[in-house]
Amino acid sequence: MTRYIYFFLLTITIAACSNEPSSRATEYAEENFPAIPFRDDGDLTFLRGGEEIVTIDIEIAESDSARIRGLMQRPSLPEKSGMLFLFERETMQIFHMSNTPLALDLLFTGSDSTVVDIDKYNRPFTSKLIRSDVPAQYVIEVPAGFADQYGLVEGERVRWIRHDADAGL
């Protein structure tokens, strides 16, 4: 009997730690929120010792309303993509996942483009506040597990460029 209780507890723990949003959360998001398409505003590259680790497409959130909305109401992201939040100055940053159906990693970056803090596997639809441990000027949101998948740690550097809006004209 005890073996079954341990198995049951293990099953619940694994389900709770999943980095994927539950199908129920995804269904809720798709039914209750209009789909917000990903806008490819630029590219962001993670660097270690000057060597490229991985490059992602980024949507840039630089207005107050874009930063407040973030990735809320987005049930999915394209592969190798994320959101870059731009702030005017380096300060302690606070985020939440209340209306966000995606599990996310948050990478806090200083004004010198160095990753100063990483908060991994943030669960969807939670009201827990996610705080940077140190001041940061930029925040990068990527799907949960991304930091582990690419071995990203504090001290990595980032380089990003915005696509030229007039390039197609």
Q: What percent of the chain has pLDDT over 70?
A: 77
CATH architecture of 2-162: Sandwich (2.60)
Q: What backbone torsions phi and psi does residue 9 show, to the nearest 5 degrees?
A: -65, -40
Give the residue, 69 or 44, on which the prediction is more confident: 44
Q: Is the pLDDT of residue 10 over 90?
A: no
Provide the H-helix boundaries in 43-135.
64-69
- Alpha-carbon distance of 66 to 157, in angstroms, equals 24
Give the residue, 135 or 166, on which the prediction is more confident: 135
- Alpha-carbon distance of 24 to 109, in angstroms, equals 33
- Give me the residues paired with residue 130 across strands: 95
Domain boundaries, the chain: 2-162
Round the average pLDDT of the chain to a whole number and report it. 84
Q: Is the pLDDT of residue 60 over 60?
A: yes
Q: Which two tokens stand for residue 48?
A: 């270690």
Q: What is the pLDDT at residue 73?
A: 85
> Which DSSP letter does residue 114 get?
B
Secondary structure E strands in the chain = 42-48, 51-61, 81-91, 94-95, 104-109, 115-122, 130-131, 136-143, 157-162
Q: What is the pLDDT at residue 37?
A: 87
pLDDT category of residue 21 using cuts at 50, 70 and 90: very low
- Give me the residues paired with residue 164 across strands: none
pLDDT in tens, 80-134: 999 999 999 999 999 999 889 999 999 999 999 999 999 999 999 999 999 999 9
pTM: 0.79
Q: What is the pLDDT at residue 36?
A: 82
